[in-house]
Structures are given as C-alpha cells and as structure tokens.
Amino acid sequence: MLFVPNPLGFALNSEIIRKFCTLYSEKIRTEAMTTTTLPEALQLMQYIGDAIGTIREPQELFRTVTDKLRLIFSFDSAVIITIDRDRREASVFFEMLRFELPSHLRHQTRSIVGTWLEGHLDDRKITIATIVRDIPAFGKEDAPLLWTLHELGMKQIVLSPLRSGGRLIGFLCFVSKEEVLWSDSDRSLLAGVSSLIAIAVSNALAYEELRQREAETAMQLAINNALFTIKERSCMMLAVCEQISKLIPCAFLGIRVVGDDGRFRIFDNFMREPGQSFLPFSPFEYLDMSPDDPIARETVEVISRPGVYSGERFEEMCNQFRLVGMVRDRFGISSSIVVRLWDLPGSRAGLIISGIGVSLGESELATVRLIVPQLALALQNYLAFDEIDRLRHKLEGERTYLVEEIRETHNFEEIVGQSAPLAEVLHRVSQVAPTDATVLIEGETGTGKELIARAIHNRSPRRERVLVRVNCATLPAALIESELFGHEKGSFTGAVERRIGKFELADGGTIFLDEIGELPLELQSKMLRVLQERELERIGGRRVIPVDVRVIAATNRDLGKEVDAGRFRQDLFFRLNSFPLSIPPLRDRRDDIPMLALHFARKFAREFGKPMRFVRESDMHELMARDWKGNIRELSHCIEQSVIVSESETLDFSTALPPRGKATSLAAPSTLMTLAEFEEEIRGMERRLILDALDRAKGRVSGEGGAAGQLRINAKTLYSRIDKLGIRKRYGTG
C-alpha cells in the first residue's frame, strides 16, 4: 500500500483513490446518458490526488484544483466556506470569483444564525439552489450575499458539504450565471471530489491552527522576555508592540492605568506609520490639549468597557467619546480592541489596540488575551517598583534633610517667656494648630518665626510626618523652582537624575516657607496652583502629582505694601493670609529677657563645656534696656559671646554689649537737660555704683569686705537706698 506524503500534515492513500474511481466507473456505466465521461472522471480524480499530494501551499492547491474542476463542471465562480465547531460562524477559506463583491462581504467572518446557509448545515447531499426562488424567504439583512449575487446576475448556487471525521467543516460552493442541469453522475463525482477536498481543507485548517498556536507561543515567549528583561517602560512596551503586530494587523497600542482619584497614572501611546516601527507618541500634542482637558478625562471610562469595536460599534464609541472620534479623524483608526488588565482597589488598567483600514475581530481579541496575565503582572510590578523608588527617594530626602536639621544650630530649642504679648501668640497657635489652615507668620527678623512654625506643626495631626523648611531668600532664582517642585532627568543641563522637590518631600506633613516675600514673581503663580489645587508638575515632567501638604509661610516684609508695589501677587497673598500670626519684637516683651538670657547662658555653657556663670544685675538691666533690633537672635549672639570670653564667676559683657552711645554732657550748649532728667541720671549713676559694689562684695552689704565698707557708708543707710532703688537679689541659676 502506497502513502503519498503531504506537506499540509497528512498522507493520502492512492489505493483509496483508485478504488473510488473503479466504483465510480461501474456506477456511470449503468447510466443511459452521462454528462461526464469515464476517462475524464478518472483523470480528474487522479489529478486531484496528485495535486493534494504534491502542492504545498493551500491557496495554490485549491486554485489548481478549481481550474481542473472547471473543465468537468459548469460554473462561473467557486468558493470554499468553513464552519466553526459551534456552527455559529462562517468564514471564506478560498475563493475564485469572476465578479467583484462589495468590500463588506469579502473575507469577513459572519454569523450564520438565521441565514439561508443555516438551513443546510445538516445536508449530506449536494444542494442545487436557484437564487431567485430562495431570495423571497430572506430579507437583505438576513441574506445580504444572496441579494448581492442576484444583483450581479447570478442564478444558481451549488452547495457540496465538506465533512471530516463525521463533522461538517464547510461547503464547496459553485456560483453560475445560468441554471445548469446536474445529473446523478455529476453529483456523485462532485461528492467524491468534495471528500478529497474536505480532507485537504481539514488538514490545512489543522496546520493553520498549529502554525497559529506556535506563533502565539513564540509571541508569548518573546513578550515574556521583553517584560522581564527590559527595565525602561517605554522600551518594554515598544518590544510588546512589535510582537503583537506580528499576529494582529494593529497600528496603535495604548496602555491606561487610572488611579482611584480618576487620574491617569500611566497614559502610554505607541503608533506605527506604514512600513516603519512603532514609536511613542502623544495624541495630546497632535490634538493640542492636555491630560486634564475634559475631553481627555472622558476616556477614563474606555478601559471599563472591554470588547471588540468595529463597524457600527466603533462608530458608537467615537460618538460617545470625543477623543476617540478625534483620533479616528486625525489618524484614520477604523476598529479597536479594548482589554481589561485589572480592576483592583486603588487602580484599574486596560489595553487598547487599534487598526487602520482593517476590521479587528474576536480572533484578534483571543490572541491579545494570551498576553494579558504577563502584561498585567509586569505593569503592576513596574508600578510597585516605581512607588518603592519614589518612597525611597523621599525617605532619602527626608533623611538628608533631617541630618541637615540636626547639624544646624537653631536659635533656641523651645519657646521661652511669659509676657502677655507672647501668651497671646501662643493662644492663637493652639487655636490654629489642629486645623490644616494655611498660616502666615509676620514679624521682624530674629523674632522666632520658625519656632512658632514648629510649634504649630508639633501640635497638629501631622506631627508624625516631617516638617520641611525652605528659605526662599537663600535659594538662587534659577534653582528655586527645581528645589520646590523637583525635576525629571534631562529636563535641563545638569539634571542627571530625577529629583523630588520639597513639596513632594513634605507630602503628608508640613512645609515652612521662610521669607516668602523673596519668592520670584514668575514662580508665585505656580505656588498658587499648588496651594489651591494641591498638585504640581516637576520641571520637564508631564505627570500631575497630587500633594497633601500644609503650608506655613513667614516673612519680615509688609506683604500688603509689596502687593501695592506690584512685587507680590494679590491672589497669593490672600491665599497665604488665611490665618495671620504677628510675632511681637523683643522690645515689646522686655519681661521675657531675663528668662531668655538665662536660657541661652545654660545652653551655650553646656555646648561649649563651660561652667555656668551668673548674670550681674547691672548687666541684666542693661540687657532689658536695649532695643534689640535683631531681636532674640541678637540677644542669643550676645550671650554666646559672653559665655565664650568670661573667666570670672559672672558673665563678662564688656565686649559682647557695645556701648549704646555716650551720656549727654551737662555743658553741651546744644541741649538742655530738665531737672527730672538730671535726677533720673543721678539715680541711675547711684544704682550702678551700688550694684558694682555689691558685685565686688559678692552680694554682702555689711561686715568686713561688704558693699557698705567699700562705699564708706553706714550699712543701714545702704540697705535703705537699696530698697528705695528697687534693687533685688542678684540673678543666677541656683
């Protein structure tokens, strides 16, 4: 028994063909008249057997067979139709037409439910149908092909079932302009030929299915390799596009990841021009809009509606989503496939694939679904690593910032004082601290504005997060925007890596903008957006980043006057000034000076490893009498210097306190001192004399070495003058 190897994946038994021809010849000898002679039938069967055994390419095989069939049978055009396993759809497997079908009827998979073809699915014999007779039973919508053939002048259709393994796999169809009379021998011969063609079609379909599966497996492996070896997202997705396009005629691929706030976390688009590779592109640039445009925001819902969109469904999508319609008009998109990647708490994602001039269908959707698990996992991993990277940068920034804060010497560690003006400020701090209101702290330089800002932060619900301090006056104008809002890698010369700004660093906490009045005018509008919208964009970035930050600003300028002078935006001033706090200068809270002086004396003695020394009463009065234009900062520096230079038991202010100005001379001709001023001057001189004597006597008034002996005055008289001048016990730490 001889087997002929067939490149479609099967072998035909030539003995079976010969037996079939013998039986057929015996049958037609018994017929009185035949339209097909025996030699022709034998030659046809033998030729078909040889063709199936030798011709490798299916389309060439069926074209060759059809040419031979035309020599035996009378027809104008031939079509091989295949039926799916569920017998719900029919597809054109091969066609040789002598007329032109409309484009919407050519090479299209169509449903056979309710159509003329459905009534012949159980046929086992050849059907000879007259088109004119069968058309009235079906409307144009149910039988568009029949009506089209009728309009083209066709009159007859011959349907020969193709069965393989007892299952109907399709039909061999002949279409004729004339009604042809088919004899029983012709029907028998066509049935025999159909059996051979059915075997070829079945094996061709099996081979095509195997080839498709191998191609899909190769695509999956290639995409897996790309997803897990390429780190950069854009390059990774370009590799995915190239692999998908090998099996699906697509020209566009889009990835959408939407957060629970309705904003795009990923909005990637890739397009291929004819004859070129895929490249990233932004439809917003071509359509002159931004991701925040209402038209763009509408497309968030596209990924929530997975499925195949072609024909009328695609037109409905274009009408519902304006951006899709604009993309169709601009780029010629004709159909789309939408696949859901995931829908989880916090985010949802989808894949959009579109074609130009093609009609994507269910088979393409099935192919795309093969890569959904890997693609979804890769994107989720990317987002997770991106979030980890963002948090790592943020933690590194917080660590660096906190280290700098620890190293920095603060003017003071806590609020010191009990005066009425300070108590009023602290009361307002306690009122505003539990809220998220923006606070504007106004006060002269050195009054402790940063300390008040820290007090507000420490008494707020954000106290567990970082307080980020930015001095707007010390940052160069060229770098302040990058410092505040961050920048992307390559956004400007020197931007060698991505950097998050102070606002992102303070996310969840508080940012203290010191000397806000120094902020350049061109940045004030961007600052206003952050305060109002709670979002920002890095320099060179396209993604809008939401931030949850409480803002505390401080200034030693009169911002109202700055607004009038045009140096500060009025709308930003109103936004910052929602809760103003005015810090009193040190000259308005003189009662707090002794407490502050002792506080700084202890602090610097501890820092410098010096013994704690007393402050003489005369020096304390001098400290309280000065105006302190530098406020607490100036007082702190004065105490610090005295701690460094002092060597005796008391602090030495001889160099730390510069003279306030010489006393007015009595003989000065240009001034006239009143008697009251003269008496006050005398009391001051007497007071300083007694205080100096008490310091020398280490506080003793009477006895040997006492102040009374040094002043050569009776001890009781000295006690009386001390009481009259209001001199109290020496200040100290004990």
What pLDDT does residue 478 have?
67
DSSP assignment of 492-548 equals: STT--S-B--HHHHTTTSEEEEETGGGS-HHHHHHHHHHHHHSEE--BT--S-EE--
Which of 684, 693, 682, 685 has the alpha carbon at shortest distance from 718?
A: 693
Tell how strand 550-555 and strand 439-442 pair up. parallel
- pLDDT value, residue 432: 93
The single-letter DSSP state of residue 732 is -
d(Cα 487, Cα 476) in Å, to the nearest integer?
A: 16
Structure-block tokens of residue 25: 């010849």
H/E stretch holding 110 reads strand 110-111
Of 138, 76, 77, 151, the closest CA to residue 112 belongs to 138
Please choose, from the candidates 45, 38, 67, 52, the residue with its C-alpha nearest in 3D space to the C-alpha of residue 6.
52
Q: Burial, 409: exposed, middle or buried (Cβ in 10 Å; 0-12, 13-18, 19+)? A: exposed
CB 711 within 8 A of CB 718: yes
**For position 456, what pLDDT does the model report?**
92
Q: Which long-range contacts (CB under 8 A, 24 or more apart) does 85-90 make?
A: 85/167, 87/112, 87/121, 87/168, 88/112, 88/113, 90/117, 90/170
* Three-state secondary structure readout of 388-449: HHHHHHHHHHHHHHHHHHHHCCCCCCCCCCCCHHHHHHHHHHHHHCCCCCCEEEECCCCCCH
For residues 144 and 115, give the distance between their C-alpha atoms in angstroms, rounded to a whole number. 9
Instruction: Report residue 216 as tokens.
Output: 């899909």
| Region label for 114, one of left (φ > 0), alpha (ψ between -120 and 50) or beta (otherwise) | left
Strand partners, 77: 175
pLDDT, block means (10 residues), the chain with 734 residues: 37 44 45 50 69 70 80 84 82 76 62 78 86 69 71 86 87 88 85 82 78 72 73 80 82 86 83 80 73 74 86 87 85 88 86 86 82 81 77 67 50 69 90 92 89 90 88 77 82 75 88 89 85 85 84 90 88 91 91 89 89 86 87 89 87 79 42 66 79 79 82 82 71 39
Q: Residue 15 contacts by C-beta under 8 Å, 6 or more apart in sequence?
A: 1, 2
625, exposed or middle or buried, with CB in 10 Å at 0-12, 13-18, 19+? exposed
Question: What is the pTM for the complete model shown?
Answer: 0.44
User: Do 76 and 65 form a contact (C-beta atoms < 8 A)?
Assistant: no
Rounded-to-integer distance, Cα 132 and Cα 487, Å: 74
Q: Are 512 and 450 in contact (CB under 8 A)?
A: yes
Q: Are strands 77-83 and 167-176 parallel, antiparallel or unpaired?
A: antiparallel
Cα–Cα dist 2/16, whole Å: 10
